[in-house]
Amino acid sequence: MGASWLACRAAEAYKQLAETLKGKELIEALKEMRRVVPAINRSMASLYNVSLSMPITGEPSVVKAKAEEFLKLAEEMKTEIGNIGSELIEPDDVVITHSFSSTVFEILRTAKEKGKSFRVILTESSPDYEGLALAGELLKLGVPFEIITDAQLGLFAREATMALVGADSITRDGAVVNKAGTYPLAILCHEEGVPFYSAAESYKIHPVMSSKEVEIEERPYSRGGYGIRNYLFDVTPWKFVRGIITELGILVPPREI
């Protein structure tokens, strides 16, 4: 699951906390949560921002209201990103994407709802194969697509008219932190003259972390008895990104971040 999903689960955890504790116990728990939640995955600005937005107070009603507000705004943000991003898709466009982003899916879903004709090239996104999950959702929508192996990005990027990926974080200097494989896609799109966009709610913009400070998690992985290096994310420099599609509009990095 991605950064949007985890941020909402974190907000639900705060809501549950407010329904369980009060007074000094709640204050101490909230202080602990402010340390623990961002540490779940330090590459995800959403976890940092949701924890930072929660007040340290002994009043359960205040915490619960703030958590509910976040959940409501998160849904509204995604809808608005769908509306804004879908306007970038022109008739007969070919959209290439990597991994499964709920914001990217919302853009594609909204474009389909508006009656736009387009097709999608999506990577299988190994080793967790998020691309196959996206394929299943596109199948339900009736959006034509083809799945490629990650190694074939260089062959298929030239067929695309635009690239659209999600983001787990946008650093303060405008870099996109996303599923490993995003950076190579951005470079290939740059070489082929294909505009590269990232879609992200504004709570994925990290207020302090720069691209050089991103901590990328490496998960143990093996196949055929061999250990394989498996970093979960990579960092795409701002110079390869045409724009960040947010609920506030399309931001041009790094100036508008």
Q: What are phi and psi of 144, to 5 degrees?
A: -65, 140
Strand-pairing partners, residue 173, are none
* CA of residue 130 relative to chain centroid, distance: 13
Select which of 128, 150, 168, 234 is catalytic.
168
Q: How far apart are CA 48 and CA 37, in angstroms?
A: 7
Q: Is there a catalytic annotation at residue 234?
A: no
Is residue 102 a contact partner of residue 77, using CB atoms and an 8 Å limit? no
Show the DSSP H helices in 54-101 as ranges: 60-86
Query: Helix (H, G, I), strand (E, B), or coil: what is residue 32?
Result: helix
Q: In the numeric block, which tokens belong to residue 52?
A: 């930072």
Q: Counting Cβ atoms within 10 Å, is residue 74 exposed (0-12), middle (13-18) or buried (19+)?
A: buried
Q: Could you give the residue numbers annotated as active site?
A: 168
